[in-house]
Amino acid sequence: MTFRVDEQTFSPTPWKLHTPHDAEMVVQSVLGGYPARLHTEEGLETALEQILADSGHVFIAIDHILLSKYPFLSIILEKYPHVKLQADEHLKSLHGLEQVWTAFHGAELTRHSLCLAIGGGTILDAVGLACALYKRGLPMVSVPTTLVAQADSCIGGKTAINWGGNKNQLGSITPPQAVHIWPEWLGTLPDDHRRAGLCEILRSALVGGEAELARFDQHHQAALAGDIHALGQLIAMALSVKAALVDADEQDRGPRFALNLGHTLGHALEAASDYEIPHGLAVGLGLFAEARFFEAQGYATEVTADDLAKRLGVIIPKTQWACARNLPPAAMISALADDKKRQGATLTWVRCLKPGYCQTTSILQADTTDWLTRNPMFSIDY
């Protein structure tokens, strides 16, 4: 099966069996391809110890919350230099980078050392940038532990911190050396974060096509309930779609842009709510709101806002719909004016014409302002 972005056609990157239980794909990069391995077999502890034993001079940067949930980690940390980090947006700052660099320096890391980063997107974004800059490049191996990180952020190499009051303003595209994904970590993930990940996965399914959307429909209820097999199926699907776009456009100057589906209004919702709506859920609300917007502008689409609402209604908590509904249009308009992708009076959006076919579309700010002022997007009650 193939999918299309503007005039280009892509095939989802295939997974190959690595062991009877583990699948692997290679993600292409200017610095050489790197493996992403999906470990579906139980046994996180043994496998992690094996990777560490094979890795030479290793430093571990880890989300501290994981230590209270996985006691074996404390035993591993006794053997390696490490830093325990708090995964909130404060870490994605110059101060957060300094915290990581100070720990690197204390452990006397060189460019031949390796940093194993264990955590969600917040840890991977901040530690990834710290590694990219430290001595002009410390190799990093990523171990994502949230659904957003496993199904999306762990490949593609984007690292970032926030700056000047805006998200992800300073960053790089620096690929990891390898990625190890254990859906098993998701057993302890708070419910809201599972929901956030499912919204990003729905975005990838829409970009990917009918087969991907069918896989989403087949597994999302079980995934919502925490079924590890279902989560693994959805992670594999979402990464196949993302990897195909990263392979073609790692630097994000062309078709990789399709992954911004739901993100134009999603980012605006996130900022306008002062980050009360977490990123993934804002993307889910953004998928719905963008579809409403395009319908209001008279664009034909096979995937209607009502279709999306049926899926998103069970994923996004009512409180978040309410939060979005109550946001003043002026806050959304101002957040959109700050969008990095704005060029003069227009903003480039991604429009999903049908599953597997996205187009970049220039939208006049004035049209968005007019629509948001009338604010019909969350008029449906869930």
Ligand X SMILES: NC(=O)c1ccc[n+]([C@@H]2O[C@H](COP(=O)([O-])OP(=O)(O)OC[C@H]3O[C@@H](n4cnc5c(N)ncnc54)[C@H](O)[C@@H]3O)[C@@H](O)[C@H]2O)c1
Point out which residues bind ligand X (CB under 6 A). 63, 65-66, 69, 87, 92, 119-123, 125, 145-146, 148-149, 152-153, 156, 158, 168, 185, 188-189, 193, 196, 279-280
Pairing of β 8-10 and β 3-5: antiparallel
Identity of the residue, 269 or 372, whose beta carbon is nearer to ligand X in the bound complex: 269
Identity of the residue, 119 or 355, whose beta carbon is nearer to ligand X in the bound complex: 119
Tokens of 127: 């530690």
Identity of the residue, 184 or 212, whose beta carbon is nearer to ligand X in the bound complex: 184
Identity of the residue, 120 or 139, whose beta carbon is nearer to ligand X in the bound complex: 120
Identity of the residue, 185 or 371, whose beta carbon is nearer to ligand X in the bound complex: 185
Q: Report in angstroms how near the CB of residue 271 gets to ligand X at its nearest.
A: 12
Q: Is 357 helix (H, G, I), strand (E, B) or coil?
A: strand
Residue 13 is given by DSSP the state: P
Q: Report in angstroms how near the CB of residue 251 gets to ligand X at its nearest.
A: 13
Q: Report in angstroms how near the CB of residue 108 gets to ligand X at its nearest.
A: 28
Neighbours of 204 (CB within 10 A): 26
Q: Report in angstroms how near the CB of residue 91 gets to ligand X at its nearest.
A: 9
Q: Report in angstroms how near the CB of residue 148 gets to ligand X at its nearest.
A: 3
Tokens of 352: 């999903």
Q: Is the dihedral of CA 242, 246, 248, 249 positive or negative?
A: positive
User: Which candidate, 61, 102, 96, 93, places its Cα nearest to that of 80?
Assistant: 61
Q: Report in angstroms how near the CB of residue 5 gets to ligand X at its nearest.
A: 17
DSSP letter for each residue of 156-188:
S-EEEEEETTEEEEEEEE---SEEEE-GGGGGG
Dist CA 49 CA 54 (whole Å): 9
